[in-house]
Structure 1
Amino acid sequence: MEPRKHYTKEFKLDAISLVLDQGLTIAEAARSLGIRANMLGRWVRENQADTNGQAFRGNGKLTPEQEEVRRLRIEIKQLKLERQILKEAAVFFAKETK
């Protein structure tokens, strides 16, 4: 099995341009680029559905909403840990005062 190929954002946008701007069919454009037609069709749909420029962000590049969710999850984890430490400290000091 061949390793999965990764295409750059520029390559994808150029391929989409062949279909949308130059009038080639998805099959013709895919054949000329040496890629599968269903993959090019998916790229075209994703590009057309994109309203805020987030299509083909690449690996590791999160949308602002995803970044906020990630940050909040880290904060929640930290707060839970701090709360657990405070509970254990309260139990410890309650035993010391008896």
Structure 2
Amino acid sequence: MELVRSSGRTVTDVARELGISSESLRGWVKKAKAAEPGAATADSTGLSAADAAELKRLRKLTAEQAKTIEILNKATAFFAKESDR
């Protein structure tokens, strides 16, 4: 990866010089960039792995809270009817 970065040449050119597949080198470069501290993206969403995990956790929490609110609204309606009797 360092050779690709420091030389300013394309992955294909560097791979040809080294006698390896350009796809292999491209994959290694991609993995190395993802492993760097502060790597901006871990997937196609543009989120880091930590941000993606946090988003998943928050979406789950939001769904659980929406269910709780629905149950409480139904309970409120039920008890409102009961108190009118």
Partner of 1:65: 51
Q: List gaps (5 residues or longer) in structure 2.
A: none
Partner of 2:21: 34
Partner of 2:72: 86
Instruction: Say which structure is richer in helix.
Output: 2
TM-score normalised by structure 1 residue count: 0.49
Report the aligned-residue RMSD: 3.5
Q: Percent identity?
A: 24
Higher RCO structure (Cα 8 Å, ≥6 apart): 1
In the TM superposition, what whole-angstrom CA distance separates every residue of 1:6-39 from its partner, at most 9, and x where no partner exists?
A: xxxxxxxxxx144247x59432333332135xx8
User: Aligned in 2, Cα 1:73/1:83: closer, same or farther, shift over 3 Å?
Assistant: same
Larger Rg: 2
1:82 maps to a residue whose letter is: T
User: Aligned in 2, Cα 1:94/1:56: closer, same or farther, shift over 3 Å?
Assistant: closer
Q: How many residues align?
A: 71
Runs of 4+ in 1 over 6 A off after TM superposition: none
TM-score normalised by structure 2 residue count: 0.55
